[in-house]
A and B are shown apart, each in its own frame.
Chain A
Amino acid sequence: MQKKYSSLQQVQEALRSGQTSCRELVSYYLGQIQENKALNAFLEVYSAEALSYADEIDRKLSSKQDPGKLFGLTVGIKDVICYKGHRVTAASKILENFESTFTATAVERLVAEGAIILGRLNCDEFAMGSSSENSAFGPVRNAADPSKVPGGSSGGSAVAVQAEMCLAALGSDTGGSVRQPASFCNVVGLKPAYGRISRHGLIAYASSFDIIGTLTNCLEDASRMLEVMAGPDEFDSTAIQESWKVNEAASERAKKLAYFPAVMNHKGLDPEIKSAVQDFLQQQEATGIEVHPVEFPYLEYMVPTYYVLTTAEASSNLARYDGVHFGFRSEDSRDIESMYRKSRTEAIGEEVRRRIMLGTFVLSAGHYDAYFTKAQKVRRLIAEKTADILSEYDFIVTPTTPTTAFPLDAGEYRDPISMYLADIYTVQANLAGVPAISLPLFHHSNGMPFGIQLMSSKFEEHRLLAYGQQIMSNLRPA
């Protein structure tokens, strides 16, 4: 599937040379969206707005005004990110007609640099899920095989880039929601370090895990977007104070890689994925990089710790969807109690309700110490151990996912526990707050793509991106 444009650089060259206009470019993507409607990636398309914004960029280009660093970047935004005057639903019925009155910092910064927002993208409800089937507005389908899921929760974002409905998309990543669909859809997924990008305007799932991430065709686009979005924000006191610059001269060479034998020998790991990662490590070793097996004693605790803490935060973060001030309110509420119960039961999907109940349970008196406090302690151990390993090794290498994209409505995956266990490789980066990427390197004999994951020390996205760049140009010639 050859794409018309596979990088922002290509787009900008075409625009500067007059080979195409921005209006023509946007029209092309709008056409792609129309053509791929069946994949259900976009929940809403801002056609007229995008075209008029394209005209403005064309005017700037013809009058030699600065069109911004990201001019011509067509972007879809996951429907958990606020954009003033536009609806934002978190793929939930409870916010079906909710319009945001402010713009997320990340979006505002992209737009200020000439990016064009094409629309909002389908996902799992409140970003909870790994298949993008938990949407009140229907499941998203994988462009490589529409009978398969695109992964989740940022499934719409991955498919939009995969099927060239936009050049790049914003997702959010709480436990792998950018990287897992990137792996399933053959695109680059970047989850920056926690705090790297302001969460102002990102609908919260689990506040101490959530981060906005990007889905792109190449690492260069990911790093150019990161540069614009990163940095301090007066609206988010958990965003870090430093800004982040693209390092043009980056020629980062990894010296030492770590991998976890227990991960490679995990019984749920698809054998083809396992051998692809093994081959990758051997190739790296052959180029003179040291590759070491490292013990990670907390592997089996990762998923439980993640689900205890994220559901706890979610149960509180989602309390505001109560039918009182905004969003859906049940028609047959008689009193305050029934208004809460009916509104939330009627308009919040099963998986989200499950997580709210789990989170309420782990925070409740009598269970708090056994679950929440314990999980917090384990999280600290995981974070410390991860940091230790990354102080000795440049990167940790794992598969992104144990399998390739699975069929929609797959019976076995209806079991929430096995669905949760599929997050085993991705949750570590969120528990530890470190950056991670999924690189689209492989194809399975079943025809589906899959990626490999790299993690680096906190706030070392420049090294991650530089090394990723090398791997991509060596292993996947354009």
Chain B
Amino acid sequence: MSQSVGKYETVVGLEVHMQLQTKSKVFASDPAQFGADANQNTSYITMGHPGTLPLLNEKVLEYAVRLTLALGGKVNRSTGFDRKNYFYPDLPKGYQITQDRNPICLGGQLSIQTGGKSREIPIHHVHIEEDAGKSIHDQNDRFSLVDLNRAGVPLLELVTEPALNGAEEVDAFINGIRQLVQYLEICDGNLEEGSIRCDVNISLRERGAKKLGSKVEIKNMNSLRNIRRAIAFEEKRQAAMLDRGEEILQQTRSFDADRGSTFPLRSKEMAHDYRYFPEPDLQPVLISQEYIDKIESSLPELPWQLRRKYCSALGLSLYDAEVLTDDKKTARYFEELLETEVPAKAAANWVMGKVKSYLNEQQLSISDFPLSAARLASLIKLVEAGKVNQLTAQQQLLPALIADPEANAEELATTLNLIIEEDGNLASSTIKQVLDDFPDKVKAFKGGKKGLTGFFMGEVMKRSKGKIDPKSANKMLITELNKV
């Protein structure tokens, strides 16, 4: 599904930067966590003092291999680092250590769903690099301030082929990456805090044309909404230029969120010659097959694997499968429910229904849900066994259990007098009572108003206070009505 403007087709390539959630930085033992006071996580190595050398954090390599394998890419078994040279105050060494010639991951793809269709987006490569610090220009009239806490925090940069057709696919792709890195537990996937940042390369070409148009790069985007707006703006701007027969200049632009438009960066900022060359302070990294195998065997089940399983083995709908796998914690909770041998459909309905609405109301994440999967399972089992009816369970037993999460569900139901009468006497006496109390309606039913079954049933359930099993009561009611 293309988002093209008129006769043009939009082509987007992404550079996605993911901040890895390692304890320490990529080339130094300083803490890598977000949120410390300015310049606290900065040793002499991070500050690039004379005489310092980088030391590769092996966890970073492991995370990169994890992502490579999850994307079906080829692990580059002879990988290595390069220097990217440029001057900026938040770049303490005057160069960034990155991977230019031999990135860790070659190729791979990510499947995205848009408009009910699924498409594989090819990935060019993924490489490891260090983040820069932060320049702060608005806290002092005369000086710019620099915070180097972020300098040296490990990043993976994923570069796609120019294969995304418009904002909808870009959105799906970034969401897919966010979900994947969370499943892999290598990045928290938080766009707002800048854990994922994107450069968006966008060009237009006439529909059906093979050759790519000149691209414009929009730097440093960290919100899906702004990415959509920036793409929409560029589509219009470039289409208008092409219509006028103007040439699109290859350019680096920035998005102004207040105006909803993009503007070119100064040509000076674009004219970088980064003078990449092999980083002489680090040895090439040779990766053994055993190492790759070990990481492969430790990979968690990935979202698309779970979805396939839920659809084919458990018979859930694709929609249900998507909701359940949207974030890893929900999927894990659902998996725990399945382990208790609760029927899959019932488990799915509870998680997507009452549990989800409770979490939404309370603005909680599922990891903060008071009931363990085992507790919720015991409640679901009461319903499935016909001991508590569904509505009662949802409206009365669940809130009671949440209020007292350590309680035994069945004991609580008994205390609250919610257990269905097993012998059917209550059902038959209530039905008799209802039919006796509404002779006119019974007559009308006999006269052909079959729709009145619902009325009788509602009355029966109301009077029995939910203590009867609605399914068997319904059967008994129909038998009784036909007898009259």
Contact = CB atoms under 8 A, between A and B. Distances in A.
Contact of B51 (A82, A206, A372): A82
Interface in B36-76: 44, 47-56
Contact of A326 (B49, B94, B273): B49
A101 interface: yes
B115 interface: no
A318 B94 CA distance: 8
A199 B280 CA distance: 12
Chain A to chain B: the 3 pairs with minimum beta-carbon distance, closest first: A319-B94, A207-B280, A363-B275
Contacts of A324: 89, 92, 146
Given A340-B87, A372-B277, A238 B283 contact: yes
A326 B47 contact: yes
A249 interface: no
Contact of A200 (B53, B92, B144): B53
A95 B277 contact: no
18 contacts: A98-B50, A201-B51, A203-B50, A203-B51, A204-B51, A208-B280, A237-B55, A238-B283, A316-B94, A316-B95, A316-B275, A316-B277, A318-B94, A320-B92, A322-B94, A325-B47, A368-B277, A372-B277
A336 interface: yes
Contacts of A48: none
Interface string A288-326: 000000000000000000000000110110111010111
Contacts of A312: 277
A322 B56 CA distance: 25
Contacts of B146: 324-325
What range describes how many residues of B lie at the interface? 20 to 34
A116 interface: no
A123 to B, nearest CB: 14
A368 B274 CA distance: 11
B44 A101 contact: yes
A319 B44 contact: no
Interface in A192-208: 199-204, 206-208
Contacts of B277: 312-313, 316, 363, 368, 372
Given A319-B85, A319-B94, A360 B282 contact: no
A90 interface: yes
B273 A365 contact: yes
A100 interface: yes
B53 A320 contact: no
Interface string A392-405: 00000000000000
Nearest to B268: A337
Given A237-B56, A364-B273, A365-B273, A320 B48 contact: yes
Contacts, number: 96
A320 B93 contact: yes
Given A237-B55, A316-B94, 13 more contacts: A100-B49, A101-B44, A102-B44, A207-B281, A208-B280, A237-B54, A237-B282, A313-B280, A319-B87, A319-B95, A320-B92, A322-B94, A364-B275
A202 B275 contact: no
Nearest to B56: A237
Interface in A5-52: none
B51 A202 contact: yes
A243 B47 CA distance: 30
Contacts of B53: 199-200, 235-238
B83 interface: yes
Interface in B136-193: 144, 146
Interface of B: 44, 47-56, 83, 85, 87, 89, 92-95, 144, 146, 273, 275, 277, 280-283
Given A207-B280, A336-B89, A320 B50 contact: yes
Contacts of B55: 234-235, 237
A206 B85 CA distance: 15
Given A201-B51, A320-B48, A326-B49, A237 B283 contact: yes
B232 to A, nearest CB: 34
Contacts of B56: 237
A101 B283 CA distance: 26
A168 interface: no
A228 interface: no
A244 B92 CA distance: 35
Given A203-B50, A235-B53, A319 B93 contact: yes
A320 B90 CA distance: 11
A234 B56 CA distance: 10
A243 B316 CA distance: 62
Contacts of A203: 50-51
Given A200-B53, A363-B277, A325 B94 contact: no
Interface of A: 81-82, 88, 90, 95, 98, 100-102, 104, 199-204, 206-208, 234-238, 312-313, 315-316, 318-320, 322, 324-326, 336, 340, 360, 363-365, 368, 372
Contact of B48 (A100, A325, A368): A325
A88 B275 contact: no
From B53, B55, B146, B282, name the one whose CB has the most chain A CB atoms within 10 angstroms. Answer: B53
Nearest to A318: B94
A460 B94 CA distance: 36
B130 to A, nearest CB: 14
Contacts of A236: 53
From B87, B92, B273, name the one whose CB has the most chain A CB atoms within 10 angstroms. Answer: B87
Contacts of B52: 200
Contacts of B50: 82, 88, 90, 95, 98, 100, 203-204, 320
B281 A238 contact: yes
A320 B94 contact: yes
Contacts of B95: 316, 319
A360 B51 contact: no
A324 B47 CA distance: 11
Contacts of A202: 51
A238 B87 contact: no
Contacts of A313: 277, 280
A206 B280 CA distance: 8
Contacts of A100: 49-51
A238 B282 contact: yes
Contacts of B283: 237-238
Nearest to A198: B53
B275 A360 contact: yes
Given A237-B283, A320-B94, A200 B275 contact: no
Contacts of A364: 273, 275
A320 B85 CA distance: 11
Nearest to B50: A203
Nearest to A239: B53
Nearest to A326: B49
Contacts of B144: 336
Contacts of A363: 85, 275, 277
B87 A88 contact: no
B276 to A, nearest CB: 8
A200 B51 contact: yes
B29 to A, nearest CB: 10
A82 B146 CA distance: 25
Contacts of A88: 50-51
A235 B56 CA distance: 10
Contact of A325 (B85, B92, B273, B281): B92
B51 A104 contact: yes
Contacts of B273: 364-365
A322 B95 CA distance: 12
A459 to B, nearest CB: 16
Nearest to B95: A316
A438 B95 CA distance: 36
B332 to A, nearest CB: 37
Nearest to B277: A363
Contacts of B44: 101-102
A203 B277 CA distance: 20
A138 B47 CA distance: 30
A127 B52 CA distance: 16
B81 to A, nearest CB: 11
A200 B51 CA distance: 6
Contacts of A95: 50
